[in-house]
Amino acid sequence: MTSAREIGSPLTAHELALLRRVCAGRWPGADAARAQLVHARWGGKDHEGDACFLIEVAADTDLPRIPSHDGGPVATLGVADGDEALGMLELWVEDGRLRSLDYSTFGDTAPGALPAVHLVDGSDPAAT
């Protein structure tokens, strides 16, 4: 992703595929997350170079809200290459709306890019 990308622009196919994967499942709020995903746009980055991005869902859209919880990501999926666990893909919510998708690795080095979709666990995301 380049810095020339504008907030409010469409999500890339890769970003959308990762979000669809983590919004799948039966965790509390998953249905609302999938409904919001249809309207989600790229919201920028909190930290340049990090393997994460902000999600923008217009506040004036009449969409179901994701239930609040005690903090932390609302859903997570493991990222692995075969038997080697690489990290976690985390979906964050703020005020009942999708907020960001973050990739946190288990290594000492912060990831420079989002993981490939085939490396993300396809099972039901864990609600946190």
Residue-wise pLDDT tens digits, 65-114? 999 878 889 999 999 999 999 999 999 999 999 999 999 999 887 788 99
Reported pTM = 0.89
pLDDT at residue 7 above 90? yes
Residue at 63: amino acid letter: L
DSSP 2-71: -TTPPTTPPPPHHHHHHHHHHH-SSSTTHHHHHHHHTT-EE---SSTTSSEEEEE--TTS--PPPPP-SS
Mean pLDDT for the chain overall: 88
pLDDT at residue 22 above 60? yes
